[in-house]
Structure 1
Amino acid sequence: MNLSEEWADPDRVRRYRRRVFGEREEIVSALAEARGQQQRVLRELTEFNAGTEYGRAHGFDSVRDLSDLRKAVPINDYAALGPSIERMAAGESNVLSADDPAVYFTSSGTTGAHKKVPVTPSFMRRTFFPFYYAAWAPLIEHFPDVLARPDAVLNLKHDPLSAPPTTASGRPHVGASQVDFGAKFGEPLSAEPGTGAPWGTLPVPVEAHEHLEKAYLRLRLAVTSDVRCVIGINPAMVAALPYQLRLWWPRLVKEIHDGTLGGLHRTDPDPERARELERLAHHFGTIRPAHVWPHMRALFCWTTGMASLYLPRLREEFGPGVATLPAPVAASEGPVGVALDRHTSACSLTVGASVYEFLDADDDIRPDAETLAWDELEAGRDYHVVFSHIGGLYRYAVGDVVRVVDRVDGVPRVEYAGRATRSDAAGERLRDAQVLRALAAVARSTGLDVRNAACRVVGADGSAPSYEFALAPYGAWSPAETTRFAALLDTAIGGESGDYRTARSEGRLGALTVGLLDEDAFLADWHTAVATGIRPTQVKDRLFRQDPALWERLTGAARPVGEGQA
């Protein structure tokens, strides 16, 4: 039975719903005994991996509690564990984990280098699958019609490969969305909503690296279906969809009329649907997802970070009343939190999956840095995430910053705040989250909508460096509005960051400038990046962009038109 047939089987859908809601209940129950759950996870991971090279070197057989773990193991990052991971990828066993990785997830770091994240069967069973299934619970509970038909969901991240790249030991080295979890880990219910759609496996040949063509072909097939939900995880992929509709519109309509797919006859001609789409385009002028899919119900993606600026307007493109449901706070290396209700951003810690530690986001991540436990966190503050799990990552600083939203059953709920990367030209130590909160505050106070933003440090002729912002606005801004926005943004960033405020007051940083780009500049730039062969899931919104070539590609001839005030 193929995926389309599986998702059309009512019994399969019932079993899937039971699994999803059952895993959510387990996570909810774990919150009430979070301290015991964290102790259990620590005991299991140290006992299971005590005989590994890493476990022996760090005395896992003597670790009894978090205090012992802190003494025995330094805080690690990928660079620290990378040599061991490379040995595992070459075929060595019992290095970091007692069971061999079955696959390696690929993940692009801040440098763009592809990591090899080891994925063991124990990790999948104890850490990954519980949060993975539970993540879909709010969607299918409150919008059950997304499971009514295999083609009710457009899953933008699903990208199966027939011949995946491998490590030296022959293990697949792919994105998480490219792994058949049923075949690889014995999880027949693990296929996501939308994977059984006609575009789940493309019926025409296309090169693995031709990601834009694959996106076009999926959209070509989806335009003839009654899509109710879009799954993107990476919100930049969802934001690109309205742009792609406009960009590819003539080709889409022609191929629907002719019954072709990528120029090949693979579907029945549908001149009636083509005429309907042409009437919609003529009537509305600008075609939007809401016109093509009038029964759209929900978008499923990360809702914080840069997306918090553009999601409110993006929802309008998909139709009135469309909900945005948050994807989990997670990385390729492991989960942090999962949404258990319809809150637009808050995710409860998966206390039964990993041992969690945190550092204040303004502190440096050092091997010997003092960490906080989950019960020591404060609402409204930002923290670096450090986790340990049975899959072989111990006290691993994942490079993400989370913000504590509130607590449920005494356990913090967190939202993704940004990358841990700092911009530091003059001691300002500026983080993503600080700038994004400042941008959002100024947008609210001025009534000016920001579609996307990037910034870099500039300085010449011995003058103090300053920040240059490139903004894509919604609608036209007057020069006066832009100048005022820049001044307010300068002040707002100082309000978020004492180091920035001090650097400005001492003259170590000059006033920031703002340049306005075309509304579609970031979308066009995203397409250009994807066209180079980077998977769409990995082309994410990036605020700090210091590379001159990438800045020029984004901004073109944009010029600053407003300056902040001291």
Structure 2
Amino acid sequence: MLLSCDPNDKEASMNLVEDLTTNAKQVQKLILEEILTKNVDTEYLRGFLCGRPDKELFKKKVPIVSYEEIKPYIERIANGEPSCIISVQPISELLTSSGTSGGHPKLMPSTDEDLDRKTFLYNLLVPVMNQYVDGLDQGKGMYLLFIKPEISTPSGLMARPVLTSYYKSSNFRNRPFNRFTVYTSPNETILCSDNKQSMYCQLLCGLIQREDVLRVGAVFASAFLRAIKFLEDNWKELCSNIRKGGVSDWITDPGCRNALSIILRDPNSELADLIESQCNGKSWEGIIKKLWPRTKYIDVIVTGSMAQYIPTLDFYSGGLPLVSTMYASSECYFGINLKPLCKPSDVSYTLLPNMAYFEFLPVENNNTSQSQTIQLGRSTQVSDHDHIEYCSKDDDEEADQEAVDLVEVKLGHCYELVVTTFTGLYRYRVGDILEVMGFHNNAPQFRFVQRRNVVLSVDTDKTSEEDLLRAVTQAKLLLEPLGCLLTEYTSYADTCSIPGHYVLFWELKMRGNNQLLPDQLYYPSTIMEECCSRVEESLDSVYRRCRSKDKSIGALEIRVVDHGAFDALMDLCVSQGSSLNQYKTPRCIKSQEAIQILESKVVASFSSKKPPFWEPFTMEAK
């Protein structure tokens, strides 16, 4: 069921969304029938279905799998065997996931038709946004988009990140013309393989066309903030280029130079002076609105681990709406946010039933504490949902649970997402934990909770990414009286010490000016030690028991790193195969090389001076 969407036809597009979500059950039935009928004789499915494209047999016989179980089939295709191992449609490329397997990116199969399916979802974003924001056809978008060079597999198939695949496709280059799809960045600057030259030229184009910009963004919040940091470091040179009417000599990419020669035609001292006056001000607070005064919103993903960046985005943007438009991965594009102007804490994604066949593994949600609200920033809040536990089940035990269909999920319950795609993935565990927040017609809407099993652990403690975000959010409230912003953080479990302990790396910035934090003057030891204690107090009961009673975990440590430490971490990850578009700062790191990079940037270290409060769990008599 390959659907098309004309982004210029708002009424027809929104009617299509209504039809799909109203008839979600029927659409899902047709999707599975189509996938099975086409692929029942592939080597993979033939071993389970014996040529019978039957749903009940599919759910009974085809196992729910993780990447390691399908990896051999994908590697065979990468090495030259035919696509019909897993897919009747020819595999046209392999998409490298931001996740890893054995230290290497996962490879996900893709087809030409699937590229059209992704384009369908992108086109739907236009009429959705036009429902909420007027006048988007009166300007351009300054989107900072990047590619990564492809890797050729032995079979000749290209392996590349999903966004690189899309940006290099004819679907992107020949996208339907409407003002919503007009960007300040020429395609040549997006397709430049040198990320530094690409970043510089895209920012230069955005500054020159500042009066046309109605929205700014990148894929993830982290990438957008990296661009703002780059602008902080290079605005003087950018202004010089605008003033002289020519691009710097170190920009050697022919595509970039040709594109800039059209946009940067004449010297413009007036524009250079205006930009210089804004960038040279006392503070960069609200700089986005100052440089691009017509901006209506920032288009970046701020759900999941990206929620960490909300206060910093608020600082630079002056409170512009933060819009997370879609939910997608290398495996599949899933759905869209039908209420894009909602608060980041309220973002939920409606899974579109024509994109794939969706199943959901129930995840037990132990209600250990009453839901409460914690402050993330000046005007942004995130819901402190109950801690999710897996009850110590291993992968096999969880996979043996009965997976439920899309329309069978229950409000308030959490599930792990399982997909069957048109590209050769069958009952594949994506690894995302989702919570049902509501329904649009008959289609559920999900909040992204976390990636499965992203944890810190020293003893019997298991700290998830969401637990860590919640604890750090509580602790950084102590920094507000100092005028400090926590701009980045990550962690690792230091098991070389006895007992082992958690280590957090924090990068800080002063609010109200552009000064870095050169020494301990700006963060008194008493405050930082209290931050360590606040993190520990905000972690779960198991951690606090191990720390306070069992003494099996040592005092938590915060190591403050110098400005640019996390840029160096990202550079390392990109050099080892991560995509700049898809890069997200890992909230837990294990690579010794990554740890050493951050260690080399440490300017101060602080530890908790007291164990957190803990009392034995008791049950009320009934």
The answer to whether the superposition gives a TM-score over 0.5 is yes
How far apart in 2 are the matches of 1:467 and 1:246?
Answer: 32
Q: CA deviation at 1:394?
A: 0.7
8 Å CA contact 2:93, 2:109 repeated in 1: yes
How far apart in 1 are the matches of 2:190 and 2:567?
Answer: 26
Cα deviations by residue, 1:487-546 (Å, 9 ceiling, x for unpaired): 22212221xxx5434543433323322233346543454356557775311321210012
- Of the three residues 214, 217, 234, the one matched with 1:248 is 234
**1:276 aligned partner, one-letter code:** L
8 Å CA contact 2:222, 2:309 repeated in 1: no
Residue 461 of structure 2 corresponds to which residue in structure 1?
A: 428
Cα deviations by residue, 1:271-323 (Å, 9 ceiling, x for unpaired): 22112222223444548333221222111121122321221331331234x11
Residue 257 of structure 1 corresponds to which residue in structure 2?
A: 243
Residue 77 of structure 1 corresponds to which residue in structure 2?
A: 66
Residue 552 of structure 1 corresponds to which residue in structure 2?
A: 596
Residue 87 of structure 1 corresponds to which residue in structure 2?
A: 76
How far apart in 2 are the matches of 1:271 and 1:353?
Answer: 50
Which stretch of structure 1 is more off in the superposition, 308-317 or 108-117? Answer: 108-117
**2:207 aligned partner, one-letter code:** V
Residue 105 of structure 2 corresponds to which residue in structure 1?
A: 114
Residue 486 of structure 2 corresponds to which residue in structure 1?
A: 450
Which stretch of structure 1 is more off in the superposition, 176-185 or 222-231? Answer: 176-185
Gaps of 5+ in 2: 252-256, 364-388, 511-521, 613-622
The two structures, once aligned, show a CA RMSD in angstroms of 3.3
Residue 5 of structure 1 corresponds to which residue in structure 2?
A: none
How far apart in 2 are the matches of 1:115 and 1:191?
Answer: 34
Residue 606 of structure 2 corresponds to which residue in structure 1?
A: 561
- Of the three residues 14, 18, 26, the one matched with 1:28 is 18
Distance 1:137 1:531, change over 3 A: farther
Cα deviations by residue, 1:457-492 (Å, 9 ceiling, x for unpaired): 11345x221111122345454433322222222122
Gaps of 5+ in 1: 1-13
8 Å CA contact 1:401, 1:417 repeated in 2: yes
* Pair 1:407 & 2:439 matched: yes
Within a 5 Å distance, the mapping from 1:175-324 to structure 2 comes to: 175-179=161-165, 188-189=174-175, 196-197=182-183, 199-202=185-188, 208=193, 210-226=194-210, 227-263=213-249, 266=261, 267-268=264-265, 269-284=267-282, 286=284, 288-320=287-319, 322-324=320-322
Q: CA deviation at 1:202?
A: 3.1
Cα deviations by residue, 1:441-469 (Å, 9 ceiling, x for unpaired): 444688585322211111345x2211111
Distance 1:242 1:271, change over 3 A: same
Q: Secondary structure in 1 aligned to 2:323? A: strand
8 Å CA contact 1:155, 1:195 repeated in 2: no
Q: CA deviation at 1:117?
A: 1.9
How far apart in 2 are the matches of 1:378 and 1:487?
Answer: 37
Distance 1:547 1:88, change over 3 A: closer
How far apart in 2 are the matches of 1:380 and 1:518?
Answer: 41
Q: Secondary structure in 2 aligned to 1:17? A: coil
**1:118 aligned partner, one-letter code:** P
8 Å CA contact 2:334, 2:351 repeated in 1: yes
**1:437 aligned partner, one-letter code:** R
Distance 1:409 1:508, change over 3 A: farther
Residue 333 of structure 2 corresponds to which residue in structure 1?
A: 335
Distance 1:48 1:63, change over 3 A: closer
TM-score in terms of structure 2 length: 0.77
**1:119 aligned partner, one-letter code:** S
- Of the three residues 494, 509, 522, the one matched with 2:566 is 522
How far apart in 2 are the matches of 1:204 and 1:36?
Answer: 40
Cα deviations by residue, 1:83-109 (Å, 9 ceiling, x for unpaired): 222333325131111110233322232
TM-score in terms of structure 1 length: 0.84
Q: Secondary structure in 2 aligned to 1:301? A: strand
How far apart in 2 are the matches of 1:423 and 1:183?
Answer: 39
8 Å CA contact 2:23, 2:442 repeated in 1: no
Residue 395 of structure 2 corresponds to which residue in structure 1?
A: 365
How far apart in 2 are the matches of 1:101 and 1:387?
Answer: 18
8 Å CA contact 1:212, 1:531 repeated in 2: no
Residue 393 of structure 1 corresponds to which residue in structure 2?
A: 425
8 Å CA contact 2:49, 2:57 repeated in 1: no
Distance 1:60 1:509, change over 3 A: farther
8 Å CA contact 1:41, 1:389 repeated in 2: no
**1:233 aligned partner, one-letter code:** V
8 Å CA contact 1:337, 1:413 repeated in 2: no
Distance 1:557 1:200, change over 3 A: same
How far apart in 2 are the matches of 1:102 and 1:231?
Answer: 30
Cα deviations by residue, 1:375-418 (Å, 9 ceiling, x for unpaired): 55455554322111222111111222333333333543223233
8 Å CA contact 1:140, 1:147 repeated in 2: no
% of aligned pairs identical?
A: 19
Distance 1:358 1:434, change over 3 A: farther
8 Å CA contact 1:452, 1:471 repeated in 2: yes
Equivalences, count? 539
8 Å CA contact 1:339, 1:346 repeated in 2: yes
